[in-house]
Amino acid sequence: MANPTAVRSIAAERFREPKKIESVLDLVGDTPLLEIRRIAGGISPGVKIFAKLEGMNPGGSVKDRPALKMIQDGIKSGKLAPGKTIIDSTSGNTGIALSMIGRVLGYPVELVMPSNVSAERKRIIHAYGAKVTYSDPLEGSDGALRLCRKVLEENPAKYFKPDQYFNPMNSQAHYEATGPEIYRQTDGRITHFIAGIGTGGTIMGTGRYLKERNPKIRVIAVEPDDALHGLEGLKHMATSIVPGIYHEEELDEKFPASTEDAYAMVYRLSQEEGILVGQSSGAAMHAALQIGRKLRSGVIVTVFPDFGDKYLTTNLWVGWRDRMSVGNLKFSI
């Protein structure tokens, strides 16, 4: 076991001397990189696995980065001006990010999302005061996308749509910040970058930056292994509307993750590493471990898009309790 007095986390360093900030938006990005030691314990000692903790962003997820970048770009181009309302379709985290940013910068926010997103996400968005229209849960994020287009077409002058699936600023946010942060945090030693695909912004932007620094770095995308899955935030590309910012030819590999494996990894992460994350982080960590097992040496970096407190009422912790038994978890909730 690690000597508790010797453990100095990057997060502790980050907050050692709290900086004075002008708004919560100053807290977006610059997230810590956590070494996953226990779960990675069985693999070659030459292989290290790190996870970028995107839950540390002020809106609680990786989506704060692209949301802020898309809004800043909208203001710069004049497409977003006082009097306009921000609208987008989102399965949750982008909605939370936009709701937060809209409040700080003074723009109303309207969101379209499938009605089955977790109760916690709905409540968080409600707390920021955004207006929500619900789409058919059976149509998933694509249904929300279509309904959002319809609302927009009915009143185009009213709205600014960041359009995260097609806006190049989404991946640009990761190209400009997530990629450089990871490169610096690993002293340029990263050999594999692994991330889930939702819009594709994280994998595309970060991957592009890392490849520019070192073309040998392998960029691997994680996606649900089936169209019907329980991995909130991730997209099964073969059966989805393919985002305009997603360019599969830039990837070295795709890793299919099952819902079962991802959930099991979420349980392991909370119990063995003391970090409670969401489903997509479980999928990313599962892929990182499987890929790490095949290597003799390497520095693998993956992304944990958010923490797990938003999912405590979802299938992750409730519906599956009878079917899965992991570690010493009693499923008595």
Ligand X SMILES: Cc1ncc(COP(=O)(O)O)c(C=O)c1O
Binding residues vs ligand X (CB under 6 A): 61-63, 93, 196-202, 232-234, 278, 280, 305-306
Nearest CA to 326 out of 316, 301, 300, 93 is that of: 316
φ, ψ at 34 (rounded to 5°): -100, 130
Q: Can you spell out the DSSP letters for 171-186?
A: HHHIIIIIHHHHHHHT
Nearest CA to 120 out of 86, 138, 93 is that of: 93
Q: Smallest gap, in angstroms, from Cβ of residue 7 to ligand X? A: 27
Q: Smallest gap, in angstroms, from Cβ of residue 108 to ligand X? A: 22
Looking at the Cβ atoms of 196 and 292, the one nearer to ligand X is 196
Distance CA 265, CA 259 (A): 10
Q: Can you spell out the DSSP letters for 59-76?
A: TSBTTHHHHHHHHHHHHH
Distances (CA, A) of 312 to 55, 76, 94, 279, 322: 15, 39, 19, 11, 16
Active-site annotation holds for 216 = no
Distance CA 269, CA 267 (A): 5
Looking at the Cβ atoms of 61 and 185, the one nearer to ligand X is 61
Looking at the Cβ atoms of 40 and 234, the one nearer to ligand X is 234
Q: Smallest gap, in angstroms, from Cβ of residue 174 to ligand X? A: 7
Looking at the Cβ atoms of 47 and 234, the one nearer to ligand X is 234
Residue in the block written with tokens 């992304």: 303
Looking at the Cβ atoms of 198 and 230, the one nearer to ligand X is 198
Q: Smallest gap, in angstroms, from Cβ of residue 22 to ligand X? A: 27
Q: Smallest gap, in angstroms, from Cβ of residue 283 to ligand X? A: 8
Write down the catalytic residue from 48, 52, 61, 63: 63
Active-site annotation holds for 20 = no
Write down the catalytic residue from 135, 141, 280, 281: 280
* Local structure of residue 226 (DSSP, 8 states): S
Q: Which residues are catalytic?
A: 63, 280
